[in-house]
A and B are shown apart, each in its own frame.
Chain A
Amino acid sequence: MFMALLFLVGVAVVLALWLVGQFNVLVQLKNQVQNAWAQIDVQLKRRADLIPNLVNTVKGVMKFEQDTLEKVMNARARALGATTMKERGDAEAELSQGLGRLLAVMENYPELKANQNALQLQEEVTATENKVGFARQFYNDMVMKFNTAQQMFPGNLVAQMFGFKPSEFLAVPEADKAVPTVDLSLS
């Protein structure tokens, strides 16, 4: 009788410990997802800070690309002034597209290639673009881990018990999926 009781208590303790462990894993993953999300924001802010510098440096030389430059500046302004997530997402995607085009077109200007300042800015913008991309990639990796942990048995029981909700993946923006077309005719 005593042994049976001891056995039951043992099972209960093990179960409780396991529950605590599972719960903590989920909390940890949730925080990692949130942190990954904040990282994207950090990189987007850095990008917004860099753009005016870049545009000012190249606008004198890139006379035929005023349209591209304007698009970039407009998208930046809209991203900074956005009030909804949707608005912001659209503006940032357009900004990515515009910057990609700008960087590609810069290759066609020998004056810019000789300009140390422009080269440096080009590297910084390229790096920031990459960082935004990798931060998004890492966010999605974390979301996948978090959601998988919530969906797999027996973690799903714990997730339900404590009301964990799956996070949403960041969709690859349409602009990034399309093969970039760069007009090299410059006319």
Chain B
Amino acid sequence: MADAPQRATFYELQAENRRNSVLLIVGFLALVLFLGLGLDVFFLGWSPGGESGFGIPLATPFALLFGAVHASYSWFAGASQVLSSTGARPADPNDPLERQFENVVEEMAIASGLPKPATYVVPDPDPNAFAVGRDPAHAAIAVTRGLLETLDREELQGVVGHEMSHVRNLDIRAMTLVTALFGAAALLSDVARRGMYHSGGRDRGSSRRSGDGGGMAILFLVWLLVAALAPFVTRLLALAVSRSREYLADVSSAELTRNPLGLAAALRKIGAAHHPTRLITQGSAHLCITDPRGWSVNDREGEGAELFGTHPPLAKRIAILESMAGVVAPPAS
């Protein structure tokens, strides 16, 4: 049966997301440890031998504790934070369009065998959609009012199928984790850099005391670099994770609806709408079905676009979907 390899892929997708999540957490802990130890060594005068400064590293446990608390707070509150930052409100079952949206979400939940996610509407005229949540049982799918007004039922089903796939493949979980860790890492590196400005004097003293000025200076530079680049690198990471997931969610959507042309038509309409989705800001761009910053980013191709865009080019995604339906030959990638 043609379905067999796709089924396998879906488990592989989940497994890959689980693996990535573990790697992310390990990487995050390493980063926090590194930043914290750096603060201790360079600014608080602590050294592993323990002969100077405070007897115990103070900044390291503080950074760990702070990072853990901040990240777990975002982990649990992240979804509602994103929703409220976009101005999303629960879908109104008395409104015909929003009632249809709820029905379509329930249909896709049945098709994927998952609990029905909460449904939200963002009062923005530009068509877009996103999914958030830390696991399938606590997921939410939000669409803009513009999306409901632009798409017909089949197209909406394709879009909701795409979001449902993000839920099922645990993409939303990985994204919530990236966002939580990103926020904590950004704050910590900010604290680290502030620490540097405020205690420059002690820094010089401690590195002289350690008696290995050259080596320490290099270490210090590396530490500075990491502290400065940590948020940027985490951001690139989030983008990379998001991009690779979009094609897969498109394909999974077609697998759920058995109708790849519905999503293809939806993407075409969304792409033609051009306007940036004002209510959805930079921080949640990687969650959306197309880049909310507008057409210029969605149309771009090539290395730069592939590195900094949150989404693969729309034309490529449409071509893949149409090739699934046998309309055109698959695109050369």
Chain A contacts to B: CB under 8 angstroms: 32, 36, 39, 43, 116, 119-120, 123-124, 126-127, 130-131, 134-135, 137-138, 141-142, 144-145, 148
Contact = CB atoms under 8 A, between A and B. Distances in A.
The main secondary structure of chain A at its interface with chain B is helix
B96 A131 contact: no
B112 A138 contact: yes
B204 interface: no
A54 to B, nearest CB: 15
Nearest to B100: A123
Nearest to A119: B96
CB-CB nearest 3 A-B residue pairs: A127-B103, A134-B111, A134-B110
A32 B104 contact: no
B153 A126 contact: yes
14 contacts: A36-B113, A43-B110, A126-B103, A127-B104, A130-B107, A131-B106, A134-B111, A137-B111, A137-B258, A138-B111, A138-B113, A141-B3, A142-B113, A144-B1
Best-surrounded residue of A39, A127, A134, A148 (most CB of chain B within 10 A): A134
Interface of B: 1, 3-4, 7, 96, 99-100, 103-104, 106-108, 110-113, 153, 157, 256, 258
Contact of A32 (B99, B108, B113, B157): B113
A10 B161 CA distance: 47
A120 B96 contact: yes
The main secondary structure of chain B at its interface with chain A is helix
Contacts, number: 48
A116 B96 CA distance: 9
A138 B113 CA distance: 7
A39 B110 contact: yes
A127 B107 contact: yes
Contacts of A123: 96, 99-100, 103
B93 to A, nearest CB: 10
A130 B153 CA distance: 11
Contact of A145 (B7, B106, B258): B7
B106 A127 contact: yes
Contacts of B258: 137
A148 B7 CA distance: 11
Nearest to A138: B113
Best-surrounded residue of B107, B112, B258 (most CB of chain A within 10 A): B107
A124 B112 CA distance: 20
Contacts of A39: 110
B103 A134 contact: no
Contacts of A148: 4
A144 B112 CA distance: 14
A123 B98 CA distance: 11
Contacts of A119: 96
Contacts of A144: 1, 3-4, 7
A127 to B, nearest CB: 4
Given A126-B103, A130-B103, A137-B111, 16 more contacts: A32-B113, A36-B113, A120-B99, A123-B96, A123-B99, A123-B100, A123-B103, A124-B103, A127-B100, A127-B104, A131-B110, A134-B111, A138-B111, A141-B3, A144-B7, A148-B4
Nearest to A140: B3
A137 B4 CA distance: 14
Contacts of B153: 126
Contacts of A130: 103, 107, 157
A145 B96 CA distance: 37
